[in-house]
């Protein structure tokens, strides 16, 4: 069976346009949250006509879910690359904390976090609960993968790592909420990260 090059090219263009809409929507959601975001805002940000956007998405909520799906795929790319490259455990952990510190101090007001919590609060359905659980599970899984690097490199003992990963997830989520309300500073963040390190079962 011969593949039509023109159909591949058309498919690629459609995918590129869809990605452009998602990227523009991410900017809107980061700046305005979910509740205040409108289709008009997204149209103005991406420069695609209303009819053009509706070829890909039927609502703001549908676009938001596509943004979350993309975010979930890319969120831990840098950390996973370090894990794949067998970077020393402490370097990976330092980078993980540094990324979160920077986000909490400088990017939280221009991030997806507010929009995500608005979604969870305003969409109290089985689907939204499942989505939130999947996001938290992915966060915990990535933290556990970092810990397994420490075990493989004989830096950590394989003791209670699943529970500690869950603790890391809860602390980071809590810090994010505090950052959204403006009740956090670098000292508080560093103190929490120090305590989190102390939980680790070093060899």
* Burial state string for 192-202 with b = 16 or more CB within 10 A and e = fewer than 16: bbeebeeebee
Residue 7's pLDDT band, with cuts at 50, 70 and 90, is low
DSSP secondary structure letter of residue 10: H
The predicted-structure confidence for 9-44, as pLDDT tens digits, reads as follows: 677 888 899 999 999 999 999 999 999 999 999 999
Q: Is the pTM of this model over 0.85?
A: no
Superfamily per CATH, domain 75-203:
Tetracycline Repressor, domain 2 (1.10.357.10)
CB 156 within 8 A of CB 89: yes
Which of 123-127's residues contact partners 24+ apart within 8 Å by CB, and which partners? 123/61
Architecture of domain 1-74: Orthogonal Bundle (1.10)
Task: Using pLDDT thresholds of 50, 70 and 90, give the confidence band for residue 2.
Answer: low
pLDDT band at 150 (very low <50, low <70, confident <90, very high): very high
Six-digit token string for 106: 């400088």
Domain limits of the chain?
1-74, 75-203
Q: Model confidence at 5, in pLDDT bands (50, 70, 90)? A: low
CA distances from 122 to 62, 117, 136, 156, 165 (A): 14, 8, 18, 41, 28
Q: Is the model more confident about 68 or about 7?
A: 68
Exposed e or buried b per residue across 70-104, where buried means at least 16 C-beta atoms within 10 angstroms of its C-beta:
eeeeebbeebeebbeeeeebeebbeebbeebbebb
Residue 1 has pLDDT above 60, yes or no: no
Nearest to 78 by CA among 66, 90, 94, 95: 95
Q: Are 78 and 69 in contact (CB under 8 A)?
A: no
pLDDT digit string, tens, across residues 158-199: 999 999 999 999 999 999 989 888 889 999 999 999 999 999
pLDDT tens for 68-83 read 888 777 777 888 899 9
**CA dihedral for 121, 123, 125, 128, sign (positive or negative):** negative
Supply the pLDDT for residue 139.
Answer: 87
pLDDT of 148 reads 96
């Amino acid at each position: 069976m011969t593949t039509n090059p023109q159909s591949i090219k058309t498919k690629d263009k459609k995918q590129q346009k869809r990605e452009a809409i998602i990227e523009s929507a991410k900017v809107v959601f980061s700046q305005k949250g979910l509740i205040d975001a409108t289709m008009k805002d997204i149209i103005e940000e991406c420069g695609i006509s209303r009819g053009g956007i509706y070829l890909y998405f039927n609502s703001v909520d549908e676009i938001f879910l596509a943004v979350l799906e993309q975010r979930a795929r890319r969120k831990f790319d840098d950390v996973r690359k370090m894990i794949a490259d067998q970077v020393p455990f402490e370097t990976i952990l330092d980078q993980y904390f540094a990324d979160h510190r920077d986000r909490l101090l400088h990017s939280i007001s221009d991030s997806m976090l507010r929009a995500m919590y608005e979604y969870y609060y305003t969409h109290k359905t089985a689907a939204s609960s499942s989505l939130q659980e999947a996001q938290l599970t992915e966060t915990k899984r990535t933290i556990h993968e970092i810990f397994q690097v420490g075990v493989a490199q004989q830096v950590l003992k394989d003791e209670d790592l699943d529970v500690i990963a869950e603790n890391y997830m809860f602390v980071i989520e809590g810090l994010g909420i505090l950052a959204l309300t403006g009740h956090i500073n670098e000292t508080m963040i560093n103190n929490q990260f120090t305590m989190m390190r102390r939980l680790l079962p070093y060899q």
